[in-house]
């Protein structure tokens, strides 16, 4: 005898999920999102935000999924959301304003973390974005070393998150 549930039971659970989340484009409850991230790759956009001096805007991150360190702003694409819409929303959410961006990604990466099941497989598209050097991060309510703190960097910091090391060459060079 196997531990598999039968098709009818799967149908009942699926219908319950559809009732609980009638509009997945509005976001998912954490438990459902984490289950999905254990069963399929997640697609995300990352924003390489540069100013006219070649500096890169990075955000501080501190969470159980990626660890503690600097990262390029990014976000997971929602159901029925275009890549361009996700870029706009990430910029609004993580830096507080719109950015200009190239329409084609400058990098495509697949990341598989064999040590993790939840959020363990990503397909990441890196987009080159632009802000003026006059942009001042709105850090008034965020202390340095706290999640969400923003800072311009002339090169790649030593404490760039491990999962972001694929972007070192883009942060170190004025592209």
Q: What CATH number corresponds to the domain at position 151?
A: 3.90.79.10
Average pLDDT, integer, range 74-85: 96
- Quick check: is 121 in a domain? yes
- Quick check: is 4 in a domain? no
Q: Is the confidence at residue 37, as pLDDT, over 60?
A: yes
**DSSP letter at 133?**
T
Whole-model pTM?
Answer: 0.89
Query: Of 4-13, 37-46, 163-172, where does mean pLDDT reach its minimum?
Result: 4-13
Note down the domain range covering 108.
28-172
Tell me what percent of the residues of the chain surpass a pLDDT of 70: 98
pLDDT for the residue numbered 1: 44
How many structural domains compose the chain? 1
- In this structure, the chain runs to a length of 175
Name the burial class of residue 20, with classes exposed (0-12), middle (13-18) and buried (19+) by CB atoms within 10 angstroms of its CB: exposed
Q: Which residue has the higher pLDDT, 140 or 68?
A: 68
């Amino acid at each position: 005898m196997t531990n598999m549930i039968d098709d009818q039971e799967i149908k009942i659970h699926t219908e319950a999920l559809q009732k609980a989340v009638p509009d997945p484009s509005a976001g998912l409850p954490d438990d459902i999102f984490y289950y999905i991230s254990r069963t399929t790759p997640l697609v995300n956009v990352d924003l390489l935000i540069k100013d006219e001096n070649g500096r890169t805007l990075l955000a501080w991150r501190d969470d159980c999924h990626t660890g503690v360190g600097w990262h390029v702003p990014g976000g997971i694409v929602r159901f029925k959301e275009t890549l361009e819409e996700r870029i706009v929303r990430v910029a609004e959410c993580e830096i507080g304003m719109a950015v200009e961006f190239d329409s084609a990604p400058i990098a495509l990466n697949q990341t598989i973390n064999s040590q993790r099941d939840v959020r363990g497989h990503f397909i990441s598209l890196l987009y080159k974005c632009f802000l003026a050097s006059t942009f001042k991060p709105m850090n008034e309510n965020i202390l340095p070393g706290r999640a969400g703190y923003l800072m311009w960097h002339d090169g790649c910091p030593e404490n760039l998150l491990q999962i972001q090391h694929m972007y070192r060459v883009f942060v170190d060079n004025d592209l």
